Amino acid sequence: MGNANFAVEARQLSRDYVSSKRSYLIGKKTITVIKALDCIDFEIKDGELFGLLGPNGAGKTTTVKILCTLLEPTSGHAFVKGYDVVKDAAKVRKIVNMVAGGERMLYYRLTGRENLEYFAELYDVPKKEIASRVNSLLELVGLSERADDEVEKYSKGMKQRLQICRGLINDPEVLYLDEPTLGLDVNIAKDIRKFIREKIVNEQGKTVLLTTHYMYEAEELCDRVGFLNKGKLVAVGRSEELKRKMPSGFSMEVLVTRLTKEAIEGLRLLEPVKNVLTTAYEGETEDEKIDRLIINVDSERTAPEVLNYLSSMGCRVISVNIRGPTLEDLFMFYTEG
């Protein structure tokens, strides 16, 4: 039995995926083992909104599936409200639910209302409460007018909102949100985030585990975050605490053109510079490719030295922004070094 003081607990949780392949139907069989989760440990307190961050393939969805009893761990344990997700799966299912990004987990040939009524039955929602609960959930997400249309006629955003209703139909104590705003319009995603924070966590006091690779989303919503990289939990804690652990206190975000490898190597060797990360920038000038540098420095006062160096290496600086480290910086630090 786990610790009932925590809403969710993972203890040395591991999960391997084994795949076998035979060449030409009757040839030699090769077996590949992928370690999707490697002995991860974390806890989530009651009423907390915990973000599990990581690049694609880090193990976020695997973690969520184990916690909602759809997947068995290879080793280790996971508990929800003290119940083991494997041994007490039936008890766990009563108190959790999951909302996944994408367009699955709904019956397309049923209407929105029929979907919710059906899942209400599966979750043993008291019969006399079903109609009012379904109506209030639909109203909450703004789907009342389209409730009696078949789901296949819904837009992506509408399906996602209906998914949220499905995820709340049993009034779960713990809600898993697996990339809930994936592929949605900016304004709809913003509304959903607001809904998660204000209604689900603040008002209803639910515990939420959110997985996302939108850093601004985690920055906006999460009380605490955990970074997963290649199956390992590389950092857990409040954003502010983790930022303080960064090699330096400030980040310079510099957009440059004509960046060379030599310039980056030389920049790393400068004394005030603690770390340099490069990413692509989504815009381009008419003639040249723009690179984005995230340079961790001790102090804002070292900025001129850095900029002078870049100019001396032939780079053209387009813009500079000095700020404290963000979650994105943390993400890149922990996943790319």
Q: Are 63 and 13 in contact (CB under 8 A)?
A: yes
Whole-number Å distance between alpha carbons of 298 and 296: 7
Q: Are 228 and 52 in contact (CB under 8 A)?
A: yes
Q: Which of 39, 110, 307, 317 binds other proteins (CB under 8 A)?
A: 110
Of residues 154 and 331, the one with the C-beta less far from other proteins: 154
Q: Which of 27, 32, 124, 280 binds other proteins (CB under 8 A)?
A: 124
In this structure, the strands spanning 49-53 and 207-212 are parallel
Min. distance of Cβ 108 from other proteins in angstroms? 7
Q: Are 171 and 96 in contact (CB under 8 A)?
A: no
Min. distance of Cβ 70 from other proteins in angstroms? 6
Size of the site for other proteins (CB under 8 A): 39
68 to 97, contacts with other proteins by CB under 8 A?
68-72, 90, 93-94, 96-97
SS3 content of the chain, % helix, strand, coil (to 5): 35, 30, 30
Whole-number Å distance between alpha carbons of 249 and 253: 13
Of residues 42 and 119, the one with the C-beta less far from other proteins: 119
Q: Are 45 and 7 in contact (CB under 8 A)?
A: yes
14 to 53, contacts with other proteins by CB under 8 A?
15, 17-18, 25-26
Contact between 100 and other proteins (CB under 8 A)? yes
Of residues 78 and 276, the one with the C-beta less far from other proteins: 78
Q: Which of 11, 35, 76, 105 binds other proteins (CB under 8 A)?
A: 105
Alpha carbons within 13 A on the beta-carbon side of 10: 29
Contact between 4 and other proteins (CB under 8 A)? no
Whole-number Å distance between alpha carbons of 211 and 180: 8
- Give me the residues that bind other proteins (CB under 8 A), please: 15, 17-18, 25-26, 62, 65, 68-72, 90, 93-94, 96-98, 100, 103-110, 114, 117-119, 121-124, 127, 150, 152, 166
